Chain A
């Protein structure tokens, strides 16, 4: 269905990624946000608190991120499309409730504007060091979805996709921004509401007497009902059966936990998004995501200028990890270069998918700024030398 026009700021704007993310959420139909201030994400909730009273929605600043991350789940069962927004320390506090949202299949969007860590780290400076935490930080086995925008425009566009994915697959969806994307100001075009495709909540059409809250549909996802509609829901974080009743035994655990993972992994083709450029005949492929993909783009151009066949593959969706795509690329290329704003997180996944078919190089960074393109270029050139590829350096060419 199309977005409802209330609150859609159609037009061309100059705004930063935090503000654009907020506009994306409003356009996607988000009407309930609970948050707690934390740099560099605060602008998202500040804007929402200004905007939502004239759109018809709810904002509450909770007492902490533990509260925010469960208040949104209460609101989702109350019928709202919901979001919370945070950065590293707050994300750490939310971990238990990510598990609850996975277990109870609560559609919700969690924005993480990443900053340098561990601990209080670098509050005002960027990192991409929460990539593993969103996937593995809560206890137990589970799958989530994580998107990685690289511009304010994408903060808007991907926010709509984030809500649509969370409604489709009934799981927490993360917007993995970073301080630079959050604070950079660029042109953001917001389309008319009737050009924004929105996934409505999967409300059940069954009568209360026929409805089972966790009976999966053909896509492995159950339809939802909300409190107050006579369904007498029982929702628990305990392992449960299709009625939602606690069922603490091995078969019930096996059935539920596998389905929660499979609904994401077996539908991964409908979720993953890798943008490839010049990969067809590339010897070296730079795999990147988020803000680092923009710096990587400059390094790729420089390397091509030196006569190397370098491709670029950008993971717009980082989780579920695009392992099929990376495996395909690594069978064709000799080397894969992975720059990321951490000491090596997604690179491990790339290595796992490449499975030795291509040699994988990490360009790490402890955080606090983006990479210098020259550092990525250096690693590309090293990969070229290791692979016996010929190229001319700047000095040789001039």
Chain B
């Protein structure tokens, strides 16, 4: 269905001169696969906001949309790939980064953005994250941290705050959660930021920065999962959570990532924590092979497989 129709469908056409009403269209609609709408996300879920910000970042980035690819793992966030009107790959749980690695290295002209959940990227896929950051592979990783395994019904995640209950932590979580920016920083990521779905302007800007940054960029986005995380923990709905993000966030660009862990009592530290210049995997490879092989080195220019 054309979303424009949804917006005006309540109006009685006899009473309204529709020719005089400006068409209402979501400004990011062209970035979405309209033939796949409506999407599957719950009302109040933060993932839609993140997609909106990403779409705006893309639209204002000046990139040719034919050269941007999105790779997702599996999860509610993993479904992002399916809605973006880009080359998009919905892969396996936890493995979006190694898939993106192959895609990026085989087709060096592509901008590759990985979109996945906290469980996908840091539990099952944690090791891939570490090595991609260490290698400084040129890609942007967008992690929607909703503190839970949304898709499977709200089980404990590596990000679930202490004492929160989840279906597989029914008596309160006793596992300390991971400080994602600290992990990214320690592993060698060259751009690290955290925002929440309240910070939409900053998020759009960060996504553009992350795409432009040469190397491994990581953005953590704190996002409400009203259905499975908030409700179970009596934390209100999506709007309450966004209000909480607004009231409890402090901006600290350049903060030491060791100090940005999310706790029940401390304010949420947001901002750009790391921005460093470091040669990418591909640049390092090319430099090393040029230095050792000289003229014999044939750089890989992407393969069209005898097209």
Contacts and interface: CB of A to CB of B under 8 A. Distances in A.
B98 A71 contact: yes
Nearest to A198: B306
A216 interface: no
B95 A227 contact: no
A32 B90 contact: no
A106 to B, nearest CB: 10
A97 interface: yes
Interface in A228-278: 228-238, 243, 245-246
- Contact-size category for A: 35 or more
A54 B298 CA distance: 5
B92 A97 contact: yes
Contacts of A1: 306
A200 interface: yes
Contacts of B99: 70-71, 73-74
Interface stretch (B103-111, B144-152, B209-217, B266-274): B103-111
A200 B293 CA distance: 30
A96 B73 CA distance: 13
A355 interface: no
A55 B81 CA distance: 34
Contact of A234 (B90, B301, B303): B90
A70 B103 contact: no
Contacts of A67: 95, 98, 101, 128, 131
Interface in A182-241: 198, 200-201, 203, 226-238
B299 interface: yes
B246 interface: no
B67 interface: yes
A73 B110 contact: no
Contact of A29 (B69, B101, B306): B306
Contacts of B304: 79
Contact of B102 (A66, A72, A81): A72
Interface in A69-98: 70-82, 96-97
A100 B82 CA distance: 16
Given A74-B89, A80-B303, A54 B109 contact: no
A338 interface: no
**By CB atoms of chain B within 10 A, which of A68, A200, A236 has the most?**
A236
Interface string A333-353: 000000000000000000000
Contacts of A118: none
B81 A234 contact: yes
Interface string B71-100: 100000000011001111111100100111
A57 B301 CA distance: 8
Interface in A1-42: 1, 4, 6, 29, 31-32, 34
B90 A74 contact: no
Nearest to B72: A236
**By CB atoms of chain B within 10 A, which of A1, A55, A74, A97 has the most?**
A74
B296 interface: yes
A185 B87 CA distance: 45
Contacts of B69: 227-228
B66 interface: yes
Contacts of A79: 106-107, 302-305, 307
A58 B106 contact: yes
Nearest to B105: A58
B303 A77 contact: no
Contacts of B301: 56
A53 B297 contact: yes
B297 A70 contact: no
Contact of A56 (B67, B281, B299): B299
A63 B88 contact: no
Given A57-B300, A60-B105, A81 B305 contact: yes
A62 interface: yes
B91 A233 contact: no
B201 interface: no
A64 interface: yes
B36 interface: yes
Given A29-B306, A74-B102, A201-B305, A227 B289 contact: no
Contacts of B305: 29, 79-81, 200-201, 203
Interface string B103-143: 11111011000000000000000011011000000000000
B33 interface: yes
B102 A71 contact: yes
A237 B90 contact: yes
Interface string B167-198: 00000000000000000000000000000000
27 contacts: A6-B298, A29-B306, A31-B300, A32-B105, A34-B101, A53-B293, A56-B298, A56-B301, A60-B105, A63-B128, A67-B101, A67-B128, A70-B91, A71-B105, A74-B98, A74-B100, A75-B105, A77-B103, A79-B106, A226-B107, A228-B66, A232-B66, A233-B88, A236-B82, A236-B89, A237-B92, A245-B33
The 7 closest A-B pairs by CB, nearest first: A74-B102, A78-B106, A78-B107, A75-B106, A74-B103, A75-B102, A71-B102
Interface of B: 33, 35-36, 66-67, 69, 71, 81-82, 85-92, 95, 98-107, 109-110, 127-128, 130-131, 281, 289, 293, 296-307
Given A70-B92, A227-B107, 17 more contacts: A1-B306, A6-B298, A53-B298, A55-B298, A70-B95, A73-B102, A76-B106, A77-B106, A78-B105, A79-B106, A80-B107, A226-B107, A227-B103, A228-B67, A234-B89, A235-B88, A237-B90
